């Protein structure tokens, strides 16, 4: 006889468990993570398995589900990300004594290479950086400039003026808007400081009440998508290779390490892979590392 661990003595379906999990845990994850989990669950799981009882779902079923995803043509890395969602979902169920075991724990996925291979030439990288720093639209030039400082797109679009400290030439990337969920501070380069000053002037005219550094000119709220402008940037730079917005971080890392000879530690810090303490009155000496890395990159572009 099977033991039912649900406090209500009623077997839970996946849809019921997932909805409860979202309600209880939604404030522990970013909006992007939440949206991703909902998207993958609805697209690949709910229609076929949503009404299954969670305690009736065994390892074999979990492995077959993973096999289905591979057969659909999804990349192994994507399949791993989806399976990880269900590992966490079952962990939540076990912690609430809804079940005993996690059928997704031992699911096998084909091995994949998660290393980044960025095959741009030095000339192409320099041309991209020069074009981004001279992009005709001031607001998006500022966004591209921030991305060239190693920031992630959501960090830039979520940046608000209270995170910018002109007095100490520091900008903050707090835990709530970055992937590492830690507080980071960075010293401004001269280019970034000028960019922020210009943007502040623009905002006084376009969106005087918006807290965002780079608000939408239409809604004065957070910008949702910059892909159209990014495509224009690639055309202006004469880049015909496939490139995503997130690849700007790979470009910064590749160019810094392979062409400028900068250390991995310096570049790791620049990309926000290492946390530092944020202070108001003193700049942590390591906060200067990011500035030195970016300035060395930009100085190498002069005359392109």
Q: Is residue 19 one of the residues assigned to a domain?
A: yes
| Paired tokens of 244 | 């995503």
Q: Is the pLDDT of residue 2 over 50?
A: no
> Do both 157 and 232 map to the same domain?
yes
Note the pLDDT of residue 100.
94
* Residues 259 and 279 sit within 8 Å (Cβ to Cβ): no
22 and 132 fall within a common domain: no
Tokens matching residue 117: 């291979």
**Long-range interactions of 195-198: CB distance < 8 A, separation 24+:** 195/141, 195/142, 195/145, 195/146, 196/142, 196/164, 196/166, 196/171, 197/166, 198/138, 198/142
The reply to whether 114 falls in a domain is: no
Same domain, 211 and 80: no
The answer to whether residue 193 scores a pLDDT higher than 60 is yes
pLDDT at 111: 78
pLDDT, greater one: 291 or 99: 99
Specify whether 90 is located in the same domain as 191.
Answer: no
Confidence check: pLDDT of 196 > 90: yes
Segment of 60-64, 186-190, 240-244 carrying the highest mean pLDDT:
60-64
What is the reported pLDDT for 279?
23
Residues 284 and 169 in one domain: yes
| In a domain? residue 8 | no
Cα(104)–Cα(80) distance, rounded to whole angstroms? Answer: 11
What is the distance between the alpha carbons of residues 237 and 293, in angstroms, rounded to a whole number? 23
The CATH number linked to 56 is 1.10.150.130
The boundaries of the domain holding residue 291 are 122-299
- Summarize pLDDT for 244-277 with one digit per residue, the tens: 898 898 888 878 877 777 776 776 767 775 433 3
Same domain, 257 and 162: yes
Same domain as 251, residue 191: yes
- pLDDT score, position 177: 86
Apex 294 CA angle, 293 and 295, nearest 5: 95
Q: How confident is the model at residue 115 (pLDDT cuts 50, 70, 90)?
A: low
Q: How far apart are CA 249 and CA 180, in angstroms?
A: 15
Q: Is the pLDDT of residue 241 over 60?
A: yes
Is 212 in the same domain as 278?
yes
Q: What is the pLDDT of residue 182?
A: 81
> Structure pTM?
0.63
Whether residue 243 lies inside any domain: the answer is: yes
**pLDDT exceeds cutoff 90 at 300:** no
Q: Say if residue 285's pLDDT is above 50.
A: no
Same domain, 78 and 146: no
According to the model, what pLDDT value does residue 24 have?
Answer: 96
The total number of structural domains that make up the chain: 2
**What digits encode the pLDDT tens for the residues 18-30?**
999 999 999 888 8
Q: Is the pLDDT of residue 98 over 70?
A: yes
Given this model, what pLDDT does residue 4 score? 44
Which pLDDT value is given to residue 286?
Answer: 53
Give the CATH number for residue 270.
1.10.443.10
From the list 196, 161, 154, 198, the residue with the least C-alpha distance to 176 is 154
Judge if 195 and 232 occupy the same domain: yes
């Amino acid at each position: 006889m099977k033991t039912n661990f649900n406090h209500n003595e009623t077997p839970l379906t996946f849809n019921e468990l997932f909805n409860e999990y979202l309600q209880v845990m939604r404030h522990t994850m970013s909006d992007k993570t939440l949206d991703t989990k909902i998207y993958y669950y609805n697209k690949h799981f709910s229609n076929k398995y949503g009404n299954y009882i969670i305690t009736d779902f065994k390892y074999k079923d979990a492995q077959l589900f993973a096999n289905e995803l591979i057969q659909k043509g999804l990349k192994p890395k994507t399949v791993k990300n989806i399976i990880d969602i269900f590992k966490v979902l079952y962990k939540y169920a076990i912690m609430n004594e809804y079940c005993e075991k996690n059928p997704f724990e031992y699911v096998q996925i084909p091995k994949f290479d998660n290393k980044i291979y960025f095959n741009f030439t030095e000339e192409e990288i320099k041309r991209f950086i020069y074009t981004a720093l001279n992009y005709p639209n001031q607001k998006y030039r500022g966004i591209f400039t921030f991305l060239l400082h190693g920031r992630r797109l959501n960090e830039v679009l979520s940046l608000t003026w209270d995170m910018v400290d002109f007095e100490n030439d520091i900008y903050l990337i707090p835990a709530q808007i970055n992937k590492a969920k830690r507080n980071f501070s960075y010293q401004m380069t001269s280019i970034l400081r000028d960019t922020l000053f210009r943007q502040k002037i623009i905002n006084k005219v376009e969106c005087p009440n918006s807290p965002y550094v780079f608000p939408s000119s239409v809604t004065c709220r957070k910008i949702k998508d910059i892909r159209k402008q990014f495509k224009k940037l690639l055309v202006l730079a004469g880049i015909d290779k496939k490139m995503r917005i997130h690849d700007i971080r790979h470009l910064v890392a590749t160019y810094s390490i392979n062409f400028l000879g900068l250390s991995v530690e310096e570049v790791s810090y620049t990309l926000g892979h290492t946390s530092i303490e944020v202070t108001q009155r003193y700049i942590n000496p390591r906060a200067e590392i990011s500035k030195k890395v970016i300035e060395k990159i930009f100085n190498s572009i002069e005359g392109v």
